[in-house]
A and B are shown apart, each in its own frame.
Chain A
Amino acid sequence: MRRFKVFKGLFVDSFSAVTQGSKRYHIWMGFLTLIMLMGMYCYSLQIEHGLSVTGMSDRVSWGLYISNFTFLVGVAAAAVMLVMPTYVLKDIDFKQAVLIGEGLAVAALIMCLAFVVADMGGPSVLWHMIPGIGVFNFPNSMLTWDVIVLNGYLFINISIPFYILFRRYQGKVPNPKIYVPGAIISVFWAVGIHLVTAFLYQGLQARPFWNNALLGPRFLASAFAAGPALIILVLAVIRGYTEFKIKDKTIKKISMIVTVAAQINLIMLVSELFKEFYAPTHHSESAYYLFFGLHGKDALLPWIWTAIPLNVLATVLLTFGKLRNNLKVLYFCCFILFIAIWIEKGFGLIVPGFIPGPYGKITEYIPTGIEIGVTIGIWALGAFIFTILAKTAIKIETGKLRFKAR
């Protein structure tokens, strides 16, 4: 009974915490709400007219939505990079960053699910996918694996921070015996979600661009670069605008992770490019299309040739300890790395998989305004959820929000 009362108190207190704030906070949330409404309007158009309002076609049947989904799975997986040192390796530095990281994972996962739903032709019959009620093609379809791991990961990443915050809210110390096993599971689970998402593409013999053994590992490397890079940027913002104390040391440790992951990612990129271009077969045509254009069709060139230089520049800058430890340079590097990997793991991965088509036909893909509107709307949704989660967590962690027996 008492637990229920505490829960109610937490709910009421956090609700008032997220609805009150500075003027800047209200403007930010109002801005996000506006964008979400715009996204919902675009989505309503899509519901009404079908997916024909997007730039996708029978030849390029996945586009911006699935690109963002793929990238965000990586961001969600990257939260583990903070969990592992803190709970498994007992490195205390990260502890403040962990809740932020897990909040980010929750927001990213909700965005993932939103992108998948936005991509569905029949969202009204999505219950066909619920195990037990519908028909779940497990274990044959990798998509069912993805449904399981993503929702499981979402559950883990909600329950661990919730347990910790729930204890803190009552002024108690969380019991490591309860949350550490969960943290350890989440470490493996995070690798799982990204590998499974990679297998989604890797397992298709019809698409040689995806059907290579390096895809999964490269997903992990790029995720562990882009995810922590985003966390660094978020921590920088939180440090600047709230009383939540995050030491330089924490940020610098995370920057080590970003650096190593970015370096490995670059090595894998070189290996991939070597395989595609040293002895090109007709399976290399997608890569040719992506990097140089094919038969005069070159819609992806500006994207990939933005991504590659940014990626290389960020990795080189990060490699030098002196530059990396300069926070201004670090933030810049993290930003361009994030953009570079968003392009590479999104557009640069999904779209060329379909081009050229099974019989060598090239139909290009350009997202429409409505598609972009929905996408931005979902990103705003993610930012909105993250802001709410972070604001509550910070208040509890800094001791401002405590249960008072009424």
Chain B
Amino acid sequence: MSDNKQWFSLNLNSIKKKSSGSCSCGKTSGGCGSHSKDQISDEEFDTAVDATIGSERKKDGFDQVFDVQMDRRTAFRKLTASLLIGAGAVSTSCSVTTGEDSKEKAQIDWEEQFKGNYKLMTDAEKKGTVDRLVRSYQLRTGKTIHMTSENAEEDVLFGYAFNISKCQGYMDCVNACIEENNQDRNSQMQYIRIHEMKDGEGFKFDEADDNYYHEVPAEGHFYMGTQCFHCDNPPCVEVCPVQATWREKDGLVVIDYDWCVGCRYCMAACPYDGRRFNWSTPEVPEKEINKNQHYLGNRMRKKGVMEKCTFCVQRSRKGQNPACVDACPTGARIFGNLLDPNSTIRWVLENKKVFRLKEDLGTEPKFWYFMD
């Protein structure tokens, strides 16, 4: 587990003591964004902070900027830096040589604003918009992302099973999901909610706690996770006025973020609290951005559009498990192809007593719960 999280930190259990070489994503090579080199304790952190900004702690605004002690050398350096930035801004806006880039950017923005619905695009058009988005990101940040637009494969229907007996509420799935899917760190958006319920009282969601900050597993409690269930008969898809959300052939319910008008009707229609809205521009620190993206999955969203769990379409269509499945330390999460008779998910459905939530609504979720 890394310490650079802003949303919450629940490093209370065995995972905390793991060597710095591995992390919850199960890889040792890095790339999941949670491999921090060295972990420092809170005390060390505080002293370090004091050493660097100690005198500025109680200052704010104007004071922070101007009432800073600095020697002549630093002052000169800072002045030069700000002059350079200002000159740069002026030259960009007046120069004829930078025209090419900004022209291209304007062209991309124009085409992106007036492109069609991804659902109705041909493969060539899909590739076109993906290329534009990659180029646009490059022009804006100077960094290269990898974005794909793989379609659903034949004879694949994704399903998910959740073992209630195994889940201990560690929330590693939540952290992995946030990192994998580039969710807004500001609003602490989370696709997955883990509900902590009391033993002996059954599934009482209204009395469950889905926002706990204590050591898990808590005595006398059990845990149950919810997220988008990728219904076979999804009410959210029916109500969308512009078909910005739809069910793909492999069963994933996806959203075209660029086609969504942000009316939030789907949110009202979802009985499972599976959808999230970007109330403001989502913010992910540049170094934490997952650059392996899919158009329908974890690419960067903008403000005013819906988003949701896609069973990590950028991973699942490459034959990998969603990030939450790989991150789960207890093996409570099982994912696979429902049409493959040898898959684990099929074994679970055939050998366990499975059930789904709110089946009476006729939504046919592809997310089953079971117990050992």
Residue ranges of A at the interface with B (Cβ–Cβ < 8 Å): 49-52, 54, 56-58, 61-62, 116, 119-122, 124-126, 128-129, 134-137, 140-144, 147, 200-201, 203-207, 282, 285, 353-354, 356-361
Residues of chain A within 8 A (CB-CB) of B205 are 359-360
Contacting A at CB under 8 A, from B111-139, are 113, 116-117, 119-120
CB-nearest residue of chain A relative to B272?
Answer: A358
- B244 x A128 contact (CB < 8 A): yes
Q: How far is the CB of B303 from chain A (nearest CB, A)?
A: 4
Q: How far is the CB of B95 from chain A (nearest CB, A)?
A: 28
- A61 x B264 contact (CB < 8 A): yes
- A121 x B267 contact (CB < 8 A): no
- B117 x A143 contact (CB < 8 A): no
CA distance A330 to B68 in the complex (A): 69
Known interface pairs A136-B241, A137-B241, A142-B239; A359-B226 also in contact (CB < 8 Å)? yes
Known interface pairs A134-B242, A144-B241, A204-B269; A119-B210 also in contact (CB < 8 Å)? no
Most buried by A among B187, B195, B280: B280
B99 in contact (CB, < 8 A): no
CA distance A297 to B238 in the complex (A): 33
Residues of chain B within 8 A (CB-CB) of A353 are 268
CB-nearest residue of chain A relative to B259?
Answer: A128
Q: How far is the CB of A201 from chain B (nearest CB, A)?
A: 8
Q: How far is the CB of B348 from chain A (nearest CB, A)?
A: 23
Residues of chain A within 8 A (CB-CB) of B51 are none
B243 in contact (CB, < 8 A): yes
Residues of chain B within 8 A (CB-CB) of A205 are 235, 271, 361-363
Q: How far is the CB of A96 from chain B (nearest CB, A)?
A: 39
Residues of chain B within 8 A (CB-CB) of A54 are 279
- B261 x A128 contact (CB < 8 A): yes
- B281 x A50 contact (CB < 8 A): yes
Residues of chain B within 8 A (CB-CB) of A52 are 187, 279-280
- B208 x A359 contact (CB < 8 A): yes
- A135 x B187 contact (CB < 8 A): no
A-B contact count (CB 8 A): 144
Residues of chain B within 8 A (CB-CB) of A121 are 260-264, 277-278, 303-306
How many residues of B are counted as interface, with CB atoms below 8 angstroms from the partner's CB atoms?
53
Chain A interface, DSSP helix/strand/loop, else mixed: loop
29 CB-based A-B contacts, threshold 8 Å: A50-B279, A51-B277, A51-B280, A51-B304, A52-B280, A56-B279, A121-B262, A121-B305, A122-B260, A124-B113, A125-B259, A128-B259, A128-B261, A137-B241, A137-B242, A140-B238, A140-B239, A141-B238, A143-B265, A147-B241, A204-B239, A206-B361, A356-B206, A357-B273, A359-B195, A359-B206, A359-B210, A360-B204, A361-B273
Question: Which of A51, A120, A200, A361 makes the CB contact (< 8 A) with B261?
Answer: A120
CB-nearest residue of chain A relative to B279?
Answer: A52
Q: How far is the CB of B355 from chain A (nearest CB, A)?
A: 16
B276 in contact (CB, < 8 A): yes
CA distance A163 to B361 in the complex (A): 49
CA distance A143 to B273 in the complex (A): 20
The 6 closest A-B pairs by CB, nearest first: A121-B262, A360-B206, A121-B304, A206-B271, A52-B279, A52-B280
- B276 x A58 contact (CB < 8 A): yes
Residues of chain A within 8 A (CB-CB) of B303 are 50-51, 121
B198 in contact (CB, < 8 A): no
CB-nearest residue of chain A relative to B242?
Answer: A128
- B304 x A49 contact (CB < 8 A): no
- A143 x B239 contact (CB < 8 A): yes
Residue ranges of B at the interface with A (Cβ–Cβ < 8 Å): 113, 116-117, 119-120, 187, 189, 193, 195, 204-208, 210, 226, 235, 238-244, 258-265, 267-273, 275-281, 303-306, 361-363
- B305 x A136 contact (CB < 8 A): no
CA distance A119 to B261 in the complex (A): 10
Residues of chain A within 8 A (CB-CB) of B263 are 116, 119-121, 143
Known interface pairs A141-B239, A141-B241, A354-B268; A49-B280 also in contact (CB < 8 Å)? yes
CB-nearest residue of chain A relative to B237?
Answer: A140
Question: Which of B113, B195, B262, B278 makes the CB contact (< 8 A) with A120?
Answer: B262
- B244 x A358 contact (CB < 8 A): no
Q: How far is the CB of B39 from chain A (nearest CB, A)?
A: 32
Residues of chain A within 8 A (CB-CB) of B117 are 128, 134-135
Most buried by A among B117, B204, B235, B243: B243
Residues of chain B within 8 A (CB-CB) of A356 are 206
Q: How far is the CB of A86 from chain B (nearest CB, A)?
A: 35
- B268 x A61 contact (CB < 8 A): yes
Known interface pairs A58-B267, A205-B235, A356-B206; A120-B273 also in contact (CB < 8 Å)? no
- B279 x A136 contact (CB < 8 A): no
- A61 x B277 contact (CB < 8 A): yes
Q: How far is the CB of B281 from chain A (nearest CB, A)?
A: 6
- B278 x A50 contact (CB < 8 A): yes
CA distance A62 to B117 in the complex (A): 25
Residues of chain B within 8 A (CB-CB) of A128 are 117, 242, 244, 259, 261
CA distance A135 to B363 in the complex (A): 24
CB-nearest residue of chain B relative to A359?
Answer: B205
Question: Which of B189, B260, B280 makes the CB contact (< 8 A) with A50?
Answer: B280
Residues of chain A within 8 A (CB-CB) of B362 are 205
CA distance A353 to B268 in the complex (A): 9
CA distance A125 to B194 in the complex (A): 35
Residues of chain B within 8 A (CB-CB) of A285 are 206
CA distance A354 to B268 in the complex (A): 8
Q: How far is the CB of B197 from chain A (nearest CB, A)?
A: 11
CB-nearest residue of chain B relative to A206?
Answer: B271
CB-nearest residue of chain A relative to B244?
Answer: A128
Q: How far is the CB of A81 from chain B (nearest CB, A)?
A: 29
Residues of chain B within 8 A (CB-CB) of A207 are 268
Known interface pairs A134-B242, A358-B272; A141-B265 also in contact (CB < 8 Å)? yes
CA distance A52 to B279 in the complex (A): 5
CA distance A359 to B224 in the complex (A): 12
CB-nearest residue of chain A relative to B361?
Answer: A205
- B269 x A57 contact (CB < 8 A): no
Residues of chain A within 8 A (CB-CB) of B259 are 125, 128, 135
- A129 x B206 contact (CB < 8 A): no
Residues of chain A within 8 A (CB-CB) of B241 are 129, 136-137, 141, 143-144, 147
- B268 x A204 contact (CB < 8 A): yes
Q: How far is the CB of B48 from chain A (nearest CB, A)?
A: 33
Known interface pairs A141-B241, A144-B241, A359-B226; A135-B120 also in contact (CB < 8 Å)? yes
